[in-house]
Structure 1
Amino acid sequence: MSAVASSFRIGPYVVSPAVVLAPMAGITNVAFRQLCREFGSPTSVYVCEMVTARAIVERDSKTIEMMTFGADEHPRSLQLYSVDPKNVTDAVTIIAGEGLADHLDMNFGCPVPKVTRKGGGAALPYKRRLFAEIVRAAVRAAGDIPVTVKFRVGIDDEHLTYLDAGRIAEAEGAVAVALHARTAAQRYSGEADWSRIARLKEAVTGVPVLGNGDIFSADDALRMMRETGCDGVVVGRGCLGRPWLFRELHAALTGQPVPVGPTLGEVAAILHRHGVLLADHIGEEKGLRDLRKHMAWYLRGFPIGADLRRAFAMVSGLAELEDLLGKLDHDAPYPAEAEGPRGRQGSPGRVVLPEGWLDDPEDAAVPEGAELMHSGG
């Protein structure tokens, strides 16, 4: 594989190789981010789980815990969700004033109904003035902290928003934009339309444009960058149960040979490391319970009996995990079945929106009751 342009800037930070770990609810906590960084480059970007502006203003304890960063994690990247410019101003003022993050990424891509029905996530860029006001509020309150913006192609095929969103974000001071090349109606189904990334790159010329969607291998990343001209890639579901994908991306984007996938013994060591990091972060019982959701992803395609798989899915402590890992065939090679799409896919569906949401794209009114105290999604 030949190398492609392998770095870009987020404000003062050189992102090299040009790889960003996407924020994923319930996944990209400090333990998982550290694991990905250990395989990848410390100068790539690994984004914390999404948190809400309102929750920061309210000093919600769960949200503050989600904003934990490692001692050597730099830049500390935080993704923020809001539909209200005032809450954005207040939350970012707290973040900047208390030094809680080094980089802010604004979420306008979430497709889940609990978010879009309030006008948030992927629904919001349709309201161009409100979208501009939110980005402007974040940039002004952030001061020297760089702000990036992530969004989708649109609400559905009839309501595309990404080109306007990219232009507006750039005009309001965002230092980079990222496009998940699906509509909200697609959710995570079907295929990402990378041609939209290429069109956004043509429309947004002053700041880096990053591509997101269907990067499940190092070759996918190289192909996206070649086909679209994007400045970097954002990786989400492709690294679920596969944090070593960042090692492969690092090799590919720096022109080195891509290493072969790990043996089952190597996966066992990585799984154990993940369990230890989670236990250090949130305690052994809670941490190992959290690890359960990763088991099927880590063990996908390997020759493991049904009983052992069930036992992994119910693991409750490090000693038990170590015992189960000892029962695996550590010499089993990495299976071809482990490649390809992983994580949630689901099916497309109608996007739930506030009543009358599509009537006037210039309406800058904040949807009533929109600022939920939820985080993630």
Structure 2
Amino acid sequence: MSRLRIGSLELDSPVVLAPMAGVTNVAFRTLCRELELERAGSTSGLYVCEMVTARALVERHPVTMHMTTFGPTETPRSLQLYTVDPDITYAAAKMIVDEDLADHIDMNFGCPVPKVTRKGGGSALPYKRRLFGQIVAAAVRATEGTDIPVTVKFRIGIDDEHHTHLDAGRIAAAEGAAAVALHARTAAQRYSGTADWNEIARLKEHVTDVPVLGNGDIFDADDAAKMMEQTGCDGVVVGRGCLGRPWLFAELSAALNGREIPTPPTLGEVAQIMRRHARLLADHHGEDKGMREIRKHIAWYMRGFPAGSDLRNGLARVSSLAELDDLLGRLDPDVPFPRDAEGPRGRQGSPSSVALPDGWLDDPEDTLVPAGADMMHSGG
């Protein structure tokens, strides 16, 4: 059986759901766990919530606090922090400990969005090695004496001329991180092109005292097995590959544990999954916002399936659970899962130069906290 240990957490599957803004809320995580239990007989991986900004958490921003919602039986509860300031990091992690908000803290140093990097946050920050180390150390210090492990996720670097992942992995492990995860793209790549799994292998060779997880271009069960075989990584982190396919975790768990991979769902089964997802979103957000949220998911769910333009347009504007039931009832339930629905999902974008603060690259040892980089809203 393929297992993964992250500090005190013993996981029966080495598969982690990557935090995605507007996606990995309690509704989506619940659905993924339900489908893994239904289709693979277990809920064995780690499902991480949307990214939460440390400052907003400490200031108890209502939207941020709502984002920290976990299901009544969800375990382990995994929360990702975005942070740029060691003091705020400590306060947020201590709040998580004192108020029992989560069982695991992941730290985001991989966000490539220009509004984040131009202020020195996200994937720009590991370039400042000492500041990066101080932030990780602050979170670890706040969780000392608890069973809450701290993990760190980052990218290869800013661009091809400024790789930071080997230093970041070494520093994170030295400061007490229980595992590190690498999205095998630079910030300049965003989500375009191909993830460089060779860099995951390099990180695994470089960091030997904590688990190394790989992220990038895992779209089916074979991809996960290939990444682990080719890189030697201890686990995989799945992001865009599960958009519109929350049952992917059942397939990954089965494949990595030597069990038969479940048959992909028919259109009728996908319709039932959409109904369940919509209900969970309505429970979390209220029906009005829940229906607005489900629309983007419907586009991912329907990829490759036959449906007329009128029906697709109706689904794209659905505004109530009753209307959704009616529209989904018009689909042919016997249509098998389409082959052309496999492969990359979500926005890939194009590579571009990374927006950075003036003089950011001048001194990698600088520990000055970037001004204003933590004022963004939780979720990205």
Q: 1:213 corresponds to which residue?
A: 216
Pairs within 5 Å for 1:1-377: 6-40=2-36, 41-143=42-144, 144=146, 145-377=148-380
Q: Distance in 2 between matches of 1:17 and 1:94?
A: 29
Could you tell me which amino acid in structure 1 is paired with residue 86 of structure 2? P
Asked whether the 8 Å contact 1:54–1:373 carries over to 2, the reply is no
CA deviation after TM superposition for structure 1 residue 11, in Å: 1.3
Q: How many pairs does the alignment contain?
A: 373
Query: What's the CA shift string for 1:212-245, capped at 9, x where partnerless?
Result: 0000000000000000000000000000000011
Could you tell me which amino acid in structure 2 is paired with residue 116 of structure 1? T
Query: What's the CA shift string for 1:259-308, capped at 9, x where partnerless?
Result: 22111000000000101111111111111111011111000001111111
Asked whether the 8 Å contact 1:42–1:74 carries over to 2, the reply is no
Asked whether the 8 Å contact 1:52–1:373 carries over to 2, the reply is yes
Asked whether the 8 Å contact 1:201–1:228 carries over to 2, the reply is yes
TM norm structure 2: 0.97
Q: Distance in 1 between matches of 2:267 and 2:232?
A: 36
Q: Distance in 2 between matches of 1:254 and 1:306?
A: 41
Q: Distance in 2 between matches of 1:285 and 1:32?
A: 17
- Mind listing any 5+ residue stretches in structure 1 that lack a counterpart? none
The list of structure 1 runs, each at least 4 consecutive aligned residues, that deviate by more than 3 angstroms after superposition, is none
SS at match of 2:280: helix
Matched-pair identity in %: 72
- Mind listing any 5+ residue stretches in structure 2 that lack a counterpart? 37-41
Q: Distance in 2 between matches of 1:129 and 1:354?
A: 17
Q: Distance in 1 between matches of 2:374 and 2:326?
A: 45
SS at match of 2:156: strand
Q: Distance in 1 between matches of 2:182 and 2:104?
A: 18
SS at match of 2:219: coil
Could you tell me which amino acid in structure 1 is paired with residue 133 of structure 2? A
Q: Distance in 1 between matches of 2:117 and 2:297?
A: 27
Asked whether the 8 Å contact 1:14–1:43 carries over to 2, the reply is no
Query: What's the CA shift string for 1:291-338, capped at 9, x where partnerless?
Result: 011111000001111111111011111100000010001011111110
CA deviation after TM superposition for structure 1 residue 151, in Å: 0.2
Q: Distance in 1 between matches of 2:220 and 2:211?
A: 22
Asked whether the 8 Å contact 1:6–1:232 carries over to 2, the reply is no
SS at match of 1:49: strand
Aligned-residue CA RMSD (Å): 0.9
CA deviation after TM superposition for structure 1 residue 370, in Å: 2.3
